């Protein structure tokens, strides 16, 4: 699972490498091999493998989120739950993490439910959408279908509330300060 706040799931007294290697070691992989795998996973998520020797407080929020992804991939899961993985990141770091998740989700045999309240993010990363209200799915289908022709009032309301959806530049074309 990839959580919204990776800082809360990383032990500040353990190195990044130890955090990533924990699952494989628990499942019987020798520690040295698990740490080597941790370095490979750091490279996979576009971080310097040397980050394995650092502590969580020594890396940025975006880097911690990538570490969380490496940790989630450490046991070669068939299911990777991404729970609001970019909501706490600034827009430029969001774009980087979303690109990485888009690449990762193409791995054969990997299913990635992506939980988000941000419909713009969902539109970018998801092939299929399920809209929930009060714990029940009210609409689901291909992203383009659901967003292009929403059938349920809840879906229409959510889409109507997306910030900037109806924004137009001021007359004269000067959109800047």
Residue 112 has pLDDT above 60, yes or no: yes
Q: What is the pLDDT of residues 34-77, one digit of tens each?
A: 999 999 999 999 999 999 999 999 999 889 999 999 999 999 99
Dihedral-angle region of residue 109 (phi above 0 means left; psi in -120 to 50 means alpha; beta otherwise): left
Architecture of domain 6-126: 3-Layer(aba) Sandwich (3.40)
Of all residues in the chain, what percent carry a pLDDT higher than 70? Answer: 93
Q: Is the pTM of this model over 0.85?
A: no
Residue 168 has pLDDT above 80, yes or no: no
Residue among 85, 121, 90 at smallest CA distance from 9:
85
Cβ distance 123 to 143 under 8 Å? yes
Dihedral-angle region of residue 164 (phi above 0 means left; psi in -120 to 50 means alpha; beta otherwise): left
What is the domain partition of the chain in residue ranges? 6-126, 128-164
Buried b / exposed e along 114-135 (16+ C-beta atoms within 10 A): bebeebebbebbbeebebeeee
121 CB-near residues (< 8 Å, 6+ apart): 86, 94, 98
Cβ distance 129 to 122 under 8 Å? yes
Q: Give the sign of the dihedral formed by CA 16, CA 17, CA 22, CA 24.
A: positive
């Amino acid at each position: 699972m990839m959580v919204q706040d990776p800082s809360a799931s990383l032990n500040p007294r353990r190195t990044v490498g130890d955090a990533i290697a924990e699952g494989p070691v628990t499942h019987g992989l020798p520690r040295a091999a698990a740490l080597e795998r941790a370095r490979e996973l750091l490279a996979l998520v576009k971080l310097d493998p040397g980050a394995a020797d650092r502590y969580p407080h020594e890396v940025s929020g975006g880097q911690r989120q990538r570490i969380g992804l490496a940790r989630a991939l450490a046991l070669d899961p068939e299911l990777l739950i991404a729970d609001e993985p970019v909501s706490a990141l600034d827009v430029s770091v969001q774009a980087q993490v979303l690109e990485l998740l888009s690449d990762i989700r193409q791995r054969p045999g990997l299913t990635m439910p992506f939980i988000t309240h941000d419909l713009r993010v969902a539109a970018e990363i998801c092939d299929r959408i399920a809209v929930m209200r009060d714990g029940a799915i009210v609409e689901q289908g291909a992203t383009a279908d659901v967003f292009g022709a929403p059938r349920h009032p809840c879906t229409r309301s959510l889409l109507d509330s997306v910030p900037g959806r109806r924004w137009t530049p001021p007359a004269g074309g000067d959109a800047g300060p």
